[in-house]
Amino acid sequence: MVTNKLQVKYLQFLSVDEMYEESKKWLSELSFIKDEHLFFDDIIKTYTLDLINKKHFTENKEIITSLAESQKRNDSLMESVKVHKNNIEILLDGIDQIKEEADYKKEHKELIIVVSDFYKDYKNLKTELFKIIKKIIKSKKRRLLENL
């Protein structure tokens, strides 16, 4: 994938401060996604009866399962980024630890790819969830108008 190759080359030009700031940004965004997961859980609870409708049960079940997997993946990724951010002192301690410093940079490069992939997958999941909820809300409004 072209994007990954560009990101790998990009790492060579990152300073320690930039890697630290990028890690902080990831944590902030992952924390926000965690809050969004809670929001989606509330929406799912609100529309549970509509989501288990026989017509769309299988499709909705897959999305709900994907949301649960996304929550686990987000928690795991948050933990990995926290550990990575805290280990930046390897680059700052003034001691030449060439292997450890190279490993840290390699880990950062891998995290760039993993976090980017997670964001892409999460965006797709979010889009699908909103489509389903939008369809349910429209259906409820239509039934309400028909009953007037």
Instruction: Check if the beta carbon of residue 78 is closer than 8 Å to that of residue 34.
Output: yes
pTM: 0.82
Query: What pLDDT shows up at residue 6?
Result: 43
pLDDT tens, per residue, the chain with 148 residues: 445 544 455 555 678 889 899 999 999 999 999 999 999 999 999 988 888 877 778 888 898 999 999 999 999 999 999 999 988 887 777 777 788 888 888 999 999 999 999 999 999 999 999 999 998 899 888 988 888 7
How far, in Å, CA of 116 to CA of 113, rounded? 5
3-state secondary structure of 94: coil
In this structure, the number of other CB atoms found within 10 A of the CB of residue 132 comes to 20
Instruction: Check if the beta carbon of residue 13 is closer than 8 Å to that of residue 22.
Output: no
Q: Which amino acid is at 121?
A: D
